[in-house]
Each structure stands twice: as C-alpha cells, then as structure tokens.
Structure 1
Amino acid sequence: MVYKRQAQLLISTKTTKYEAIYISIISVVCWATLLKVNALNITECDSYEGYKNNTRLNCSYSVIWCDGNYSMFCSEEDVCDESFNCSTEQIEESSTTSPAANADIDITEACTKGMTQKFVYPHNCNYYYYCIDGFLLVGQCPLGYVFNTENQVCSGSITDINGCVLT
C-alpha cells in the first residue's frame, strides 16, 4: 500500500521511528477520508447497519444499504450504486388517492375466533396484521416488498402498490 512505502522512504531518510508512524497514520486517515467523500448521508440509516426498506414516497429505489456514513440506495439487495440518489422532498398526496383497504377497521375487534385473515398495517406498507383463529400477529414483508391488500401477500416494490400509506 502507498502509506507503507511512504513510511519506508521516511525511515530510510533518517527520520525517527515515531515520526514515520505518525506520518503513516496521517496517510491512512487521509486516504480513508478521500474514499468516503462520495458516500451518501442517508438520514433513514441513522445508526442502523444493513439493508433497510426505503420508505420515501418519491424514490424508485426500494432498498437502502446502511453502513455508517457509507450508505447507498439500491434497486434490490446487492444492486446498489452510490450514484443512485433520491430527493428528500416529500410529494404532496392527492386528495383523490383512495385509502388502503381495511384502514378504518379496529383490528383487535375484527380478529375473532374462527377467523384467518390478513389486514393492512396502518401507516407502514411493509407490515401487516395476521389474524389466526382470534390471535393477532404482526408480520413483515421481505426487504423491498410491501403488503398488497388486493391479494393479501407481500409483493412488488413500494412504488408499485396503489393505496400504500406511509408516514
């Protein structure tokens, strides 16, 4: 690596051992800083590391790779690029948009003994309620997928499902 070669040259020019170590450390810090200049600072990542569903309404990339300050938008897992970018501006929702099915139902009352059905989870399309014989569970769709109220399965990306309510 470059910094090792620099350290060897400095040592050979009669610098002290400590000066060579100090210069090597400075070189490493400078290179690490330069490599991360193009990284995106995605607010959704905060202190999270790994893949995360992208909940921005105006963004076509369904997944975010979070890794400290080196985060990227991804069209799917393992298809990420630091050139992918999404605006932080929020799109105003039209008043003609229909709400998600089952949005106004009190799920705790609707889930009764003998019933097996899935319901949309309010305010987050990545989750859903699953009522099994009166027991209410919360399920989560895989990364990049949302709960489709029409066929009651996880499918598509966030931008593909009509009536998806996100906050």
Structure 2
Amino acid sequence: MAKPFSPRLLQEHLKGARLFHGREAMIASFAKGGVVAEVGTEAGRFAARILALAEPGELHLIDNDWNLFESGLLADGLASGQVVRHDGLSTVELGKFPDGTFDWIYIDADHAYASVVADLDVAKRKIKPSGMLVLNDYTRWTRKAYEYGVMPAVNELVTGEDWRVIALALDRGGYNDIAISRAGLKP
C-alpha cells in the first residue's frame, strides 16, 4: 500500500534535471558501454531498446517470470554473453551482485509501494557512486485507479537521503520515467 502523500520534491532536488519527450530519448542520452540491469523485463521489448540505444557492455535482465519473454528480441546478446538473464525475485537477484557494480539500473518490477522501496534499498547499493537509478511509471495512479508506489518511494529516497532528479521522461499516458542519482554529483 502506498503512503497517502508523497514527500514534495523541492527545486533543489531538480537542479540541472533534463526533460525528455520519452524514455527512449532519455536512455539514448546515457553514456555508452556501461554495466546495466533491467529489473522487471517481462517480454524483453524495452530491454532490446536499452541494448540498441544505450549500447551497454553488459545488460543483466532480472525477472521472476519468463513466460512472456521473447528471447528472439535479444538472441545475439544472449548468445554472446552481453545479455544475461537472472531468474528470481528482484531484491534477491540484485543482492547477489557486489556493491557498486552497475552504472545504472532500470526498475520496472512490482509497483506496490513496499516492493518499490525494497527494490530501491538494494539497487542504491548496487550502483557505482556515480550511478543512477531509473524508474518506470513515475505516476501516482493508473487508468484503472490502481495506486502505484513508485512516486512516493522515489520521492522519499530523493528527499530523505540526499538524492536528486537528473532526468524526467514524459509519457503520453502519464506513465513517466524518472532518473535519480546521489546529490553530490554534478548535473
């Protein structure tokens, strides 16, 4: 269950943040060749876009249900070892990596508040000091009035632990993506 209200982000949390017309444009702006994880892969369609646009040296896909996964989308990367599948709960699988492994982590797993908080708690340790966390569906409500926990969880991390927003990617349906990093970094 989400909290009743998200902490308010202040202008200081947004200093230097970039605005993008969509998540693909945002992902394409990231440095190439890094170590990346996608938490919550489902069919693998966005993982294929990450691979094409961000050109990571390694792309780790984490999901606990591969029934919808379309392996043909990432066949070359899987065959070469550039793309690696990890089967299990996001917090468990992320927890297996050494701290400071990833340049960035894309989180699109369970959107319930407690799940997002748990994913963030592990993910923030697994990125490099200069790394970032990118979360899909930075919105409060779905079209079906299902309450998402992404916005309150992100806002709590940003305001409570001195992080900042570095980018926001707009989605025409309001299911925006947000990228955050530790506040000590230059925008």
Q: Which has the higher contact order (CA 8 A, sep 6+)?
A: 2
Name the one with the larger helix percent: 2
Q: Tell me whether the two structures share a fold, i.e. TM-score over 0.5.
A: no
Task: Pick the structure with greater CA Rg.
Answer: 1
TM-score range with shorter-chain normalisation? under 0.3
Normalising by structure 2, we get a TM-score of 0.19
Normalising by structure 1, we get a TM-score of 0.21
